[in-house]
Amino acid sequence: MERTLIIIKPDAVQRGLVGDIIARFERRGLRIAAMKLIHIDEELASQHYAVHKGKPFYAPLIRYITSSPVVVMVLDGSRAIEVVRRTMGSTNPVEATPGTIRADYGLEIGRNLVHGSDGPETAAAEIALYFSESEVLPYKRAIDDWIAE
């Protein structure tokens, strides 16, 4: 079992795509372990995107992610990080495989709808930024035995 953080970004919230995006992850068999609607402030955004500080796109990225509410979620399941990243598609929607979230709903790299952690260590750090341990709920779904061996 693996966990990952998802951020349904401001453009997806404003365009009314939250339900469609969540449904895609659930249909893949991933389980929602935590979820909330929040408005990311500059301090949290700077912590989340610290790795990009000093890059030309850093300031616009901070403005964008703080511009509107987002939905943050913890998803878990077998190989959750890889499943999420393949479901999202390439960072640049123009290069994303048809059928992925970014290919189906996006046009520009700066409005790519969704973020997903890129590895286990990143996922753990990102989850801790947005959720306390008590907010990430362990539970078994009745369908879990039909999803994973």
At 52-109, the pLDDT tens digits run 999 999 999 999 999 999 999 999 999 999 999 999 999 999 999 999 999 999 999 9
Domain count, the chain: 1
In a domain, 63, yes or no: no
CB 70 within 8 A of CB 40: yes
Residue 124, pLDDT > 90, answer: yes
DSSP tag of 142: T
In a domain, 35, yes or no: yes
Handedness of CA 96, 100, 104, 106 (dihedral sign): negative
pLDDT in tens, 21-31: 999 999 999 99
Q: CB-based burial of residue 53 (10 Å sphere; 0-12 exposed, 13-18 middle, 19+ buried)?
A: exposed
In a domain, 132, yes or no: yes
In a domain, 109, yes or no: yes
| pTM for this entry | 0.95
Residue 149, pLDDT > 90, answer: no
CATH of the domain at 17: 3.30.70.141
- Which positions are annotated as active-site residues? 115
In a domain, 25, yes or no: yes
CB 58 within 8 A of CB 92: no
Handedness of CA 101, 106, 107, 111 (dihedral sign): negative
In a domain, 82, yes or no: yes
Domain that holds residue 121: 2-39+70-137
Q: CB-based burial of residue 132 (10 Å sphere; 0-12 exposed, 13-18 middle, 19+ buried)?
A: exposed
Q: Please report which helix (H) or strand (E) contains residue 15, including its range.
A: none
In a domain, 127, yes or no: yes
| pLDDT band at 34; cut points 50, 70, 90 | very high
Average pLDDT taken over every residue of the chain: 96
pLDDT score at 148? 87
Token match 């990311």: residue? 40
In a domain, 108, yes or no: yes
Q: How much of the chain exceeds pLDDT 70, in percent?
A: 100
pLDDT score at 15? 98
Separation between Cα atoms, residue 20 and residue 16, nearest integer Å: 8
